[in-house]
Chains A and B, each alone.
Chain A
Amino acid sequence: QSALTQPASVSASPGQSITISCTGTNSDVGKYNLVSWYQQQPGKAPKLIIYEVNMRPSGVSSRFSGSKSGSTASLTISGLQAEDEADFYCCSYAGSRTSMVFGGGTKLTVL
């Protein structure tokens, strides 16, 4: 069982927007602004798309955005494209003893 809770799957049509939630506790997501998101396409290594809740690395599309409210972080993808189809994982710092925890992953299907 993963430390952070994500929906197993989401789906939407091209052009639509989706939001993936990542629910933690007040010991991880709720306590630190150190949530990151990763996109993993089939057979490939994960790729960082959001760090520190809402920061985008250079080269990542502005269609990807992150936010946080309380102990729940969210990833929003706007203007869905077929190439966005992938697994998405959230990750949070959880303090010096536990350090880093991941969500179980969400499979995005573009219909």
Chain B
Amino acid sequence: QVQLQESGPGLVKPSETLSLTCTVSGGSIDNYYWGWIRQPPGKGLEWIGYIYYSESTNYNPSLKSRVTISLDTSKTHFSLNLNSVTAADTAVYYCTKGDSFAYFDSWGQGTLVTVSS
């Protein structure tokens, strides 16, 4: 059973870049879709994007100009970079795994990132 664990700074300043890493354990990174979903406090879920093990990517159009998802060459973790952040980017960020691009069958526990000066 694959396990996912997010890590990264819990506080980011406005206009800076939010960077998170998701460590994958208990399984191979090959043949799956690896992604990020976020949830502002007290609100619903928002899909950010995914990377396939072949390194093709797909992003939410509303975030596409600011988002990059990448796979580590060792293929033990993947990362999220979101630049030019504002308070609206404050959320719990979850990393996910999917057998298909169309659903998310494993989730990390989530990490709260607050954007504030």
Contact = CB atoms under 8 A, between A and B. Distances in A.
Contacts of A34: 100, 102-103
Contacts of A102: 44-47
A51 B103 contact: yes
Contact of B45 (A38, A93, A99): A38
A24 interface: no
Interface in B67-117: 94, 100-105, 107-110
B10 to A, nearest CB: 16
Given A45-B94, A45-B108, A97-B61, A51 B102 contact: yes
A104 B44 contact: yes
Contact of B103 (A2, A91, A97): A91
Nearest to A58: B105
A91 B22 CA distance: 22
B71 to A, nearest CB: 18
A63 interface: no
Q: For the complex, would chain B's binding face be called helix, strand, loop or mixed by DSSP majority?
A: loop
A2 B62 CA distance: 13
Contacts of B107: 45-47
Most buried by A among B44, B46, B49, B107: B44
Contacts of B104: 36, 38, 46, 48, 91
B58 interface: yes
A46 B44 contact: no
A30 interface: no
Contacts of B100: 34, 51-52
A107 to B, nearest CB: 11
A101 interface: yes
